[in-house]
Structure 1
């Protein structure tokens, strides 16, 4: 497996320009570029300059994060490019195909009320419909869609099994998974990752690795993520399960922790790398 850095880790204390330099220096193999930080880059730089960086450095781009689905989007055959989600998707495909990034993260609909109370089967069917359309739009760019289950109660796709049903129903070779250790854990404190063994292994396009604080259910959220090596998520079991499945791709550290954002990007990226590398080495996952 290969080490990767997700820009969420230092989102509020860094820039894409800084992240590129520091990730190269730290030793990361890949970087996942956030769309908001990409837009920041484009204020003073060009896509061709970003392409040139990756052509002349060891660090390479992986997935671009993230496009958030919503119920009812893409109602017509032709996409509405004034739709913010489709603008995100188009930017990810345009830039990704230019710089050598072949993946875009796709997040299922999240209920703004904080709790999804709708018909789960209908929501899954809606995800299938939207992903099928996005797969067609992505194909000319050579982009693959990494569908990410989110274990929070506001999500309509909370489990590995649900995500698997959707990906199988879509049945497109450019639609697969990104499995995130904490998003799996968020679904009823799940530290059983065995369901990953039942999915099509070739559909695992990306992996996000992190642990989290031990807090009451009412306080659980993405801001509780922390680097591997501490916390309540069984990252060892997660990595061992992926290894059994034959996964050899990227493993990207992704946190949204305000405590980290208050530090320097140097501190964040050095610690992100050392903890991720240590976790992979401990579980004999490094190539």
Structure 2
């Protein structure tokens, strides 16, 4: 279980001190955090809380949304927050199309330019930017980067220690090219973050919340884990689930279920 990490999105309504205490009780010493909850609790307090508990922050979500006004200043703040938390990785979700636009190519080109503008600040702070491709159904409003290949193309112009990619099984399980792209990511040393969840059907009305804990759906998470291992990734494996049904359950219960699903369908 040394690689297991609980992403706090999975236990959205579990207050940060309770999440950290629950992880320690369960023998989990790695968590991925989100900026909103860190801001609500207090950045310095969150850094002290995790550090004193011996809990490593594996990633901070999220930067990106490069079509939004003020994106550059916001991403600089996100990089600084990751550094304060001791998180080595800032996950970037690119954002969707600019308002009124239908030009995906231009939107992706802007993402590449924006990341290039962030690289010097990220390198100075010791933070690796991790480009996360999202399922194509989110391309319009949330992420114009839809495949691992696109993410790797955007990362390619930049130093490996500055820009990597996220492999998230929920977003990539459908793509028949993903295995070759994971191998490519390994050759290029670009895998910065690995997240697992499951795809459950029928999808809820709020499609974003259609994830399940590992083992509750149709994703072959073990095949993904073996592929990233073969590609040379040895870092944390975050369970990250967005689900109103999961969020309604007590945090300890969700963590227990996540650990069980991880053992049964990710490990081995």
Cα 1:270–1:39 shift into 2, 3 Å: same
**Is the counterpart of residue 225 in structure 1 residue 214 in structure 2?**
no
Return 5+ residue gaps in structure 2 as ranges: none
Q: Distance in 1 between matches of 2:98 and 2:136?
A: 12
| 8 Å Cα contact 2:97-2:104 kept in structure 1 | no
Structure 2 match to 1:77:
none
2:58 is paired with a residue whose SS is: strand
| TM-score, normalised by the number of residues in structure 2 | 0.87
Structure 2 match to 1:179:
167
2:257 is paired with a residue whose SS is: helix
Cα 1:94–1:119 shift into 2, 3 Å: closer
Q: Distance in 2 between matches of 1:92 and 1:2?
A: 25
Matching of residues 225-244 of structure 1 within 5 Å: 225-244=211-230
Query: For residues 94-115 of structure 1, what are the alpha-carbon distances to aligned partners after superposition, in whole Å with 9 as ceiling and x for unaligned?
Result: 33223321211101122388x9
**Is the counterpart of residue 138 in structure 1 residue 116 in structure 2?**
no
Alpha-carbon offset, residue 171 of structure 1: 4.3
Cα 1:86–1:264 shift into 2, 3 Å: farther
**Is the counterpart of residue 210 in structure 1 residue 206 in structure 2?**
no
| 8 Å Cα contact 1:213-1:225 kept in structure 2 | yes
Cα 1:91–1:273 shift into 2, 3 Å: farther
| 8 Å Cα contact 2:20-2:53 kept in structure 1 | no
| TM-score, normalised by the number of residues in structure 1 | 0.81
Structure 2 match to 1:58:
54
Cα 1:220–1:190 shift into 2, 3 Å: farther
Query: For residues 113-132 of structure 1, what are the alpha-carbon distances to aligned partners after superposition, in whole Å with 9 as ceiling and x for unaligned?
Result: 8x984242x33321111001
Matching of residues 165-176 of structure 1 within 5 Å: 165-171=153-159, 173-176=161-164
Alpha-carbon offset, residue 172 of structure 1: 5.3
**Is the counterpart of residue 8 in structure 1 residue 4 in structure 2?**
no
Q: Distance in 2 between matches of 1:149 and 1:229?
A: 22
Q: Distance in 2 between matches of 1:138 and 1:29?
A: 25
**Is the counterpart of residue 70 in structure 1 residue 66 in structure 2?**
yes
Q: Distance in 2 between matches of 1:15 and 1:55?
A: 17
Alpha-carbon offset, residue 72 of structure 1: 7.5
Q: Distance in 1 between matches of 2:81 and 2:138?
A: 30
Matching of residues 32-51 of structure 1 within 5 Å: 32-42=32-42, 47=44, 49-51=45-47
Structure 2 match to 1:267:
253
| 8 Å Cα contact 1:32-1:64 kept in structure 2 | yes
Structure 2 match to 1:109:
95
Which structure's relative contact order is higher, taking Cα pairs within 8 Å and 6+ residues apart?
Answer: 1
**Is the counterpart of residue 197 in structure 1 residue 183 in structure 2?**
yes
Query: For residues 41-65 of structure 1, what are the alpha-carbon distances to aligned partners after superposition, in whole Å with 9 as ceiling and x for unaligned?
Result: 11xxx60x43333333332111111
